[in-house]
Structure 1
Amino acid sequence: MPQLDTSTWFIMITSMIFTLFILFQLKLSKYNYPHNTESTTKPSPKTSAPWTKKWTKIYSPLSLPQQL
């Protein structure tokens, strides 16, 4: 039974990783980044909802004292 020749695996894997890296860099270089870094989003108007006026606290079952 012939042996599997693994002598070229290192070169193949290295060249594949290098090629993928180059392709990824080329893909990223085509992307146009915005020049203005300031936020252009406007704050949304606050809507009045009935549950926003009332403050409630939700207790986790693990934070409650144990009842024996």
Structure 2
Amino acid sequence: MPQLDTSTWFITILSMIMTLFFIFQLKVSKYNFPENPESKSVSTPKPTTPWEKKWTKIYSPLSLPLQ
């Protein structure tokens, strides 16, 4: 019964890995990635209320002068 010759396995596996790497690089290089990805700003319109235009001052009981 002849023995299995394993002397070429290293070069075969190495060339397979390199080939897969190059194929993967070629596949990935076809995609167009954005250079500077920026998040979209989500701004909700602020509702206008009539009391926002007026100047009001709220007095708390502790800030009133002593009598």
Give distance in 2, aligned partners of 1:12 and 1:41. Answer: 52
SS state at 1:4 partner:
coil
Match of 1:11 in 2: 11
1:41: Cα distance to partner? Answer: 6.3
- Higher helix proportion: 2
Match of 2:30 in 1: 30
RMSD over aligned CA atoms reads 2.0
Give distance in 1, aligned partners of 2:29 and 2:13. Answer: 24
Unaligned runs of 5+ in 2: 44-67
TM-aligned CA distance change 1:19 to 1:41, over 3 Å:
farther
Unaligned runs of 5+ in 1: 44-68
TM-aligned CA distance change 1:35 to 1:21, over 3 Å:
same
TM-score, L = length of structure 1: 0.56
Letter aligned with residue 38 of structure 2: E
Letter aligned with residue 12 of structure 2: M
Match of 1:64 in 2: none
Structure 1 stretches (4+) deviating beyond 4 angstroms? none
Q: Based on CA coordinates, which of the two structures has the bigger radius of gyration?
A: 2
Count the aligned residue pairs. 44
TM-score, L = length of structure 2: 0.57
